[in-house]
Amino acid sequence: MKILVANLGSTSFKYRLYNLEGENEQMLARGAIERIGSPNSKITFQSARGDAESVEPIANHGDAVQSCLDQLIDPELGVLEEAGDVAAIGFKAVHARNLTGVQRVNEEVLVAMEAFADVAPAHNPPYTKAMRMLAERFPNLPLVAAFETGFHRTIPEANQRYAIPEEWTTNFGVRRWGFHGASHRYIAGRMAQLLGRSDLKLISCHLGGSSSLCAIRDGKSVACSLGMSPQSGLPQNNRVGDFDPFALPVLLRETGKSLEEVLDILANQSGLEGLSGAGRDLRDIEAAASGGDAKANLALGVYIAAVRHYLGAYLVELGGADAIVFTGGIGENSVTIRSGVCRDLDWLGVSFDPVANEGGVPERKVSAAGSRIEIWTVPTNEEIVVARQTRELLASSS
């Protein structure tokens, strides 16, 4: 079964095509279309038969999918006989009101996603707009939404609930939903393979442009640092992270800005970018910090402190851990962040290997010999998780 996995932005469409046949899983092609809506949209494509790059006008996401399908059946570089070989498009969807798991996209799902557009403003609006367009453009092609919140349905209620009136939770869905579910699910499965058993206590540190920690017991999520929205938890590249809601009236009064303006700043001009003044890319912030920039150093300190805060909480939640796993663009690549998070933890049984931390194969152990808790870097693969979930849904409904 061939599954196209899509990751959408407001002006972008990134995809991978997988062939899933029993236990055999193969990525056949990958590509991206950027600057959708521009006369100079950038199109990239990669397969075992070669790579291609071009610039041409792509008006909307429907045209982007059509361009993708054209590439996949291209006589020179394509990997499909015909576009109809694609069994479904699986979306790494983010959030929907009182709806989670893996869902066949229909009007009910779209309405639930639109109801939480203000909770996930960077994700839901482009997804629902594109999904509606694709459903109209390709009516016979199944669309499947694999929600990031789905992995966290196993979190105990005490770890889900905010201390608010019960009807706010029940009626409006205001609770800790958790996100990055595909990544944390992948880490749980991969670590079971690497360590040879599934009865593990893991702390998955997905650190990237968007970051979260997840406590995992026996392959199931029991706590996640992200709450009601992707703006919570750790500081993100440009999102605020944990923030006292009673600071809002102060900011409204003192800045003279509207609620919408303040929320936009918290969601788009805060986090590491707001703290550092050096941009939202951690590599730029680390470079500024190494050059003596005090604000950049502070941003790194705040970020590391937040990771350690949740790390400590989840070690208590799990009663220790078998492994701490770093993944995501920052988790996999930042020597500085990993060493900062793991410093001075010998009293916990965490012995860090600074030499292994400096480099090696992407998937490796970075704890020292004899460390009671192992430390790993493991590249995540959210797309294969979405492909598997899409196949399972189609199989169960056939």
283 is in an annotated binding site: yes
14 is in an annotated binding site: yes
239 is in an annotated binding site: no
* 3-state per-residue secondary structure call for 68-94: HHHHHCCCCCCCCCCHHHEEEEEECCC
359 is in an annotated binding site: no
330 is in an annotated binding site: yes
CA gap 372, 362 in Å, rounded: 22
Q: How far apart are the first and last CA of the chain?
A: 13
90 is in an annotated binding site: no
Sign of torsion over alpha carbons 348, 349, 355, 358: negative
CA gap 270, 5 in Å, rounded: 30
31 is in an annotated binding site: no
With contact defined as beta carbons under 8 Å apart, do 165 and 111 qualify? no
Q: Are strands 24-34 and 12-21 parallel, antiparallel or unpaired?
A: antiparallel
CA gap 46, 48 in Å, rounded: 7
CA gap 329, 342 in Å, rounded: 18
With contact defined as beta carbons under 8 Å apart, do 356 and 364 qualify? yes
With contact defined as beta carbons under 8 Å apart, do 385 and 394 qualify? no
Annotated binding site, which residues?
7, 14, 281-283, 329-333, 382
Binding residues for ATP: 14, 281-283, 329-333
Binding-site residues for Mg(2+): 7, 382
